């Protein structure tokens, strides 16, 4: 089995609702996303997937949606209203879910599946240097 991995980083703000800890406050992270793709055979180019093409598609989506944006729970009316009053606020809403590292890894897994037409083996999302969440689609 072949396994390839790409990574990309992005900066986002967020906060968690119904949470008793520092992440209840609006703050930011430099996230590092690792996307793993697996295949038992290679294409005619000798590749699982073209790294350059894969990175381009994923980075473009992240740039358009999450990078330098606030990732918010759609129930967080207070933060959404505050950001809406800013002249240059970018918001990405998660419907009824907290923008936790686990949720982000699952959403990114599904985005990669749609962008590439193949489900990744897993997505690992680092929220800091010493903690990450993974989603593998149950495979």
Q: Indicate which residues carry an active-site annotation.
A: 23, 68, 127
C-alpha separations of 103 from 12, 29, 38, 53, 86 in Å:
14, 15, 22, 25, 26
Give min distance, CB of 115 to Zn ion, in A: 25
> Do 72 and 94 meet the contact criterion of CB atoms below 8 Å apart?
yes
Q: Where are the beta strands (DSSP E) in 53-121?
A: 69-73, 91-94
Q: Considering CB under 5 A, how many residues would be counted as binding Zn ion? A: 1
Provide the 3-class DSSP secondary structure of residue 73. strand
23 contributes a contact to Zn ion by CB under 5 A? yes
Spell out where 15-57 has E strands: 27-39
Tell me how far, at minimum, the Cβ of 16 lies from Zn ion, in Å: 7
CB of 85 to Zn ion, least distance (A): 23
Residue placing its CB nearer to Zn ion in the complex, 23 or 83: 23
Question: Which residue has the CB atom at the shortest distance from Zn ion?
Answer: 23
Contact set for Zn ion, span 51-90 (CB under 5 A): none
Which stretches of the chain bind Zn ion, using CB under 5 A? Answer: 23
């Amino acid at each position: 089995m072949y396994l390839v991995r790409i990574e990309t980083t992005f900066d986002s703000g967020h906060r968690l609702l119904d949470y008793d800890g520092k992440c209840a406050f609006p703050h930011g992270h430099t996230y590092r996303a690792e996307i793993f793709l697996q295949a038992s055979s290679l294409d005619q180019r000798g590749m699982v997937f073209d790294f350059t093409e894969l990175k381009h598609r994923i980075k473009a989506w992240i740039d358009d949606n999450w990078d330098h944006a606030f990732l918010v729970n759609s129930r967080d009316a207070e933060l959404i209203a505050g950001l809406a009053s800013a002249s240059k606020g970018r918001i990405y809403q998660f419907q009824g879910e907290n923008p936790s590292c686990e949720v982000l890894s699952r959403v990114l897994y599904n985005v990669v599946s749609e962008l590439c037409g193949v489900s990744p083996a897993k997505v690992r999302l680092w929220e800091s240097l010493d903690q990450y969440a993974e989603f593998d689609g149950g495979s």
